[in-house]
Structure 1
Amino acid sequence: MNVRRSATALAVIAVTLTGGGQASAASPSPSPTLPAGLYGTADPTYDGVWRQSLALLAQDTVGVKPAAAAVDWLAGQQCASGAFAPFRGDAGSPCDAKNLVDTNSTGAAVQALAALGGQDAVVGKAVAWLKSVQNKDGGWGYAAGGASDANSTSVVVGALAAAGEKPGAVTKGGKSPYDLLVKLALPCGESGGGAFAYQPDKKGTLAANADATAAAVVGLLGKGLSGAAVKPTDTSAACSDSGEPGQAARNGAAYLVQAMAKDKHLTSALAGAEDQPDYGNTADAVLALATAGQGQRAADALGWLETDSAQWAKQAGPAAYAQLILAAHAQSADPRDFGGQDLVALLNATGPAPASPSPAVKDSDKPSKDDDSDSSFGTLWTVGVFLVAGVGIGFLLSGRNKRKQQP
């Protein structure tokens, strides 16, 4: 789902391991020149493909036809392997060790390009790469070979579904992505029961993480970053242990309802700072509840976003506008009148002018994408570059805040 972001801006933490095993800050690289087809004006080094994918996916979801230059830029970011890195400043040069490809950028690009159509070759190569780096537990980590986590696995599930695959049939070692996600669910009787952990800690302990929960709910339902507008169910969200993917998703939905009951939103805390409203993760939670048929229990959270998210979205840029659009659309709300703002127009203004800024047909007349369907990835966007112990692979943890959080 996730890159899951900070409440106001993208924090970048670059970390490398020295020969003595000590962590040291990597030297920042100069900001690259922004391509004409890219959405947003912030440095795209760590989130260019991600924010572009969300922007295009949100536009397509509400019937806007993106500019050809924007689509071409995204497709042109693909490496020969089929994978995508967060950003390639020189797409004309072959990918090398400096282009740290990852499952999140690749999965998000697949979802956007598959939705737009006309990119079968790009989508096919990307899906083949994703399948080739599936872990034996059935899931995916942010980087190929990295430990599986709920957020990355859910983004890949969305990519597989968007490409016409059956995620549950994509296995490694006899395990599917659903097996991995269910394994990360906390039992109902425990503190945080029904929630999902990002991944186990070093002792194998699971801790509830609202960001991972929102992603896992959508992933277990076989959907992607755009979720699905599902008719509300008559049953209340309640936790029940069964080990079945659909029930695990409902358990996660029940946890999200409880987590937002008091303040109507999720919260996050950066080290040394007070708890802050988490706008992105709240938007993801709203989308997750709608996809689980519990949209009526997300009405208060959506209302809070309408009232309070404008400044956050303005600062955070296209991915934030996209998240709000997708959450509103999943809730059957009007993203063109969201707290008095036209989110679609605001998103369109962050990049090249769309080929068709208004839908050619009403959203209700468009074919359902429920069978085609993730920063968050909602959103505490803490980005890091690490050297993965045991596999020797540097990876970017973009938007997936591994800090264990309780509501």
Structure 2
Amino acid sequence: MNVRRSAALAAAAVALGAAASPAVAAPSPSPSAIPAKAEGLFGKQDPTYDGVWRQSLALTALATAKAEVPRPAVDWLVGQQCADGAYAAFRAKPGADCGAKDKVDSNSTAAAVQAFVAVGGHRAEAEKSLDWLKSTQNADGGWSYNPGGASDANSTSVVAGALAAMGEEPGSVTSEKGQSPFDALRALALKCGAKPAEGAAFAYQPDPKSKKLVANDDATAAAVTAALGHGFVVSGPGEDGEGGKYACHAPKDVGDAARNGAAHLASAVAKTGHLMSAMPGAKDQPDVGNTADTVVALTAAGLTGQARKPLAWLEENGARWAGQTGPAAWAQLVLTAEATGTDAHDFGGTDLVAKLAAEGPADASAAPTPSAEGEQKNADDGADGDGISPWWMVGVGAFVGIGIGFLVSGRNKKRSQL
């Protein structure tokens, strides 16, 4: 889940055939006055390209950290939903009907589902959105950012996370050709290289010209997290706990491919503790958002030892980045802290939760969130809860128009229920 870069840069990357990023939505090109209809929205930046994405991340992070969730913010997200359950990145004039100008997308819709799961009380809206997502599944089992496009790892991952958050097994949600999201992700996994310890990455999509798979760290972090059954919320280390290292091998299933991807990410951050960005035309620089995605992915895979160095780097550098980027970035750091068991109220000396909450609407009347007791009741009878729940993402990076989003999306190991 990756918050960064201007929408203009993101659009250029898409136009050039560059792989897009997962995790938090791209920040707005410039801050501008938020329309009156946007009251309740997190952040003061222009929401045109990332309104629903950043709102969903913010709500998910606050609920996961067991912080107060502003009711106006939840109401804003509900109001952005189209009659068929789909979401566009932002609608200045929300209402029941969506027209041709409302470019609905899988990333915003899947992010909203995960937010509704985290805060509770809106199962009907979440189910409607999930039904729309299922109706736009590609024949290969995956999803594109906008319906009708070729499947990509980031979009497929954020939708898989939404499915898991709603208690569905992504591997059992199949297209008319019998393909699941996990089939689509596995098809984007690269083969092991000459050095097994370095693992094997995932591609965002096959290269449009050569049709070859090109390693992409954004897509890899998203795919690893989703393939291991998570999305925005990862609640602690995976099966290997403090486990050591994975050696890359030909995958028998998507779980093997995810572990190969985790080994690749561990190798990528082993030296410096962070990833580098490589947007076309831009100078390479440390990539905070994708480093956060990587920490979450390594944690989900159980490679907690390899996650320590990049986590420490994030504690040192994350707050300045988030302060410049906005609410989705603060949310991403909160979810990273929650995934790793780090104190989100003292992350390198910064209270991430307070920073995120300060980006929200002034009216902080709390929205109901599912309690632990409510979670169990919901699991038993499907009723709506009324307390609070846990987790974490990736991100997703949402892009303009046909832009791409991350994410990776997910589910709480103790699956939070609506």
Q: Same fold (TM over 0.5)?
A: yes
3-state SS in 2 of match to 1:199: strand
Find out whether 1:324 has 2:326 as its counterpart: no
CA gap 1:131/1:355 in 2 versus in 1, 3 angstroms: same
Tell me what 1:133 maps to.
136
How big is the shift at 1:271?
2.7
Q: In the aligned structure 2, how far is the partner of 1:234 from the partner of 1:397? A: 33
Change (3 A) 1:13 1:229: closer
Report the secondary structure of 1:158's partner residue.
Answer: helix
**What is the CA–CA distance in structure 2 between the aligned matches of 1:248 and 1:221, rounded to whole Å?**
10
Contiguous gaps of at least 5 residues in structure 1: 16-27, 386-394, 401-407
Cα gap change, 1:360/1:341 in structure 2, threshold over 3 Å: closer, same or farther? farther
2:308 pairs with 1:305? no
Aligned identity (percent) is 51
**What is the correspondence of 1:4-403 to structure 2 with a 5 Å cutoff?**
4-6=2-4, 10-11=7-8, 32-33=34-35, 35-92=38-95, 94-172=97-175, 173-189=177-193, 193-202=199-208, 203-230=210-237, 232-352=241-361, 354-355=364-365, 374=393, 376-377=395-396, 381=397, 383-385=399-401, 395-398=402-405
**1:116 Cα shift?**
1.3
CA contact (8 A) 1:100 1:396 kept: no
| C-alpha contact (below 8 Å) 2:82/2:96 kept by paired residues | no
Distance in 2, matches of 1:322 and 1:367, equals 17
C-alpha distance in structure 2 between counterparts of 1:277 and 1:314, whole Å: 16
SS in 2 for 1:384: coil
In the alignment, is the contact (CA less than 8 A) between 1:182 and 1:243 conserved in 2? no
TM-score normalised by the chain length of structure 2: 0.81
Shift of 1:125: 0.6
Q: CA deviation at 1:12?
A: 5.4
Q: Secondary structure at the match of 2:276?
A: strand
The CA deviation string for residues 293-316 of structure 1, in whole angstroms up to 9 with x for no partner, is 112211110110111122210011
> When the two structures are aligned, how many residues end up with a matched partner?
367
Give CA-to-partner distance per residue, 1:154-177, whole Å, 9 cap, x none: 000010111121111100111111
Quote the Cα distance in structure 2 between the aligned partners of 1:127 and 1:204. Answer: 31
| Contact 1:32/1:89 (<8 A) preserved | no
Q: Secondary structure at the match of 1:198?
A: strand
Normalized per residue, the structure richer in helix is 2
Give TM-score, length-normalised by structure 1: 0.84
Residue-by-residue CA offset, 1:211-230 (whole Å, 9 max, x unaligned)? 00000001101111122312
Cα distance in 1 for partners of 2:371, 2:119 equals 15
Shift in Å, 1:10: 4.9
Contact 1:64 1:356 in 2 (8 A): no
Letter in 2 for 1:264: G
**SS of 2:68 mapped into structure 1:** coil
Question: 2:4 corresponds to which letter in structure 1?
Answer: S
Deviation of 1:242 (Å): 2.3
Distance (Å, rounded) in 1 between the aligned partners of 2:128 and 2:293: 28
- SS of the residue corresponding to residue 213 of structure 2 reads coil
Q: State the Cα deviation string for residues 183-238 of structure 1 (Å, max 9, x = none).
A: 11111126875100001012220011000000000110111112231252434232
**Distance apart, 1:5 and its partner CA:** 3.8
Contact 1:142–1:152, Cα closer than 8 Å, also in 2:
yes
- Give 1:94 deviation, angstroms: 2.2
- 1: CA distance between counterparts of 2:137 and 2:178? 11
Could you tell me which amino acid in structure 1 is paired with residue 73 of structure 2?
A
- Say which SS state the counterpart of residue 383 (structure 1) adopts: coil
